[in-house]
Amino acid sequence: MKTLKDRVAVVTGGAGGLGRAMGERFAREGMRVVLADVQAEPLAKTVAECRDQGLAVIGHQTDVTNWPSVEALRDAALSAYGAVHVVCNNAGIGAGAEGKMWEHELNDWRWAIGVNVMGIVHGINAFVPVMLEQDDEGHVVNTSSGNGGVSPLPSTPQYAATKAAVVTITECLYGQLRDVTDKVGASVLFPGPHILRTGLFESWRSRTDEFAKERPRQTPYTTVEALEAQMKAAGVDIAYTPVEDVAERVVNGILADQFWIHPQSDRGDAQLLARTDSMLHRTNPAYLRPVPG
């Protein structure tokens, strides 16, 4: 895309964290923005705060696991603004299973796949036909993670597996779009290079009844504070990447038609090279052990 000014963006997972940061950054670029989120109250609060800043932002409560809900989001965006040029399929959850993966509830898998994978698929199916019919510039950004998109953390199988799927889905989308148009592009986003302060660790709060846990949880959910304590006890300094920095990279990546929106990271690059080397040489996956950063 040559410009974002006066264009329309839709961002899922937009009530806070990275989704909100992308929405605000798009609006400051002169875009009209639709923020979508499953949580109505945080979404309304975010939209009000954005409008107080003079930003052209509206909100629409959306459950990305539900196809009619995503269709309604598309229709609301078109009703409000008449077109959609940028779609960020950003809504994601951390699953929240406990124990070994063979002990995980099937609903832990269903929930992660419903949000992290089918949420992407629903966004593509709802918006890409509209973007092609417009015969105008457009771009789709799908949010993945180095955890899965590059190599998995064995302790988070649902999250890692679904984020790996996001990469493959986006690669296929990119290839198919290139077959039919040079106007609509696609990118896969790897936030980072460090941990982001988002609502990912509290995603259990948005778990709908359809994917409810089947038995009481035995251990507390991981929090940012608990993670910090674990890292400190292990003698590891924890670093954070501001969500605003990631949002800036997204804007630049769209304007540059950049498929891999992937920050420079010595640790991440080492993981990527170690996994590739293991595959090329048919060795067992030693890269699953932590790589010095």
Out of 159, 174, 240, 287, which one is annotated catalytic?
A: 159
Whole-angstrom Cα distance, residue 223 to residue 194? Answer: 16
- Are residues 83 and 8 in contact, defined by beta-carbon separation less than 8 angstroms? yes
159 flagged as catalytic: yes
Classify burial at 132, counting beta carbons within 10 Å of its beta carbon; exposed 0-12, middle 13-18, buried 19 or more: middle
Alpha helices for 63-156 (secondary structure H): 67-81, 106-112, 118-134, 146-149
Element (H, E) at 8: strand 8-12
Whole-angstrom Cα distance, residue 37 to residue 217? Answer: 25
CB atoms within 10 A of CB 40: 12
Whole-angstrom Cα distance, residue 86 to residue 257? Answer: 12
Q: Any idea which residues carry the catalytic annotation?
A: 159
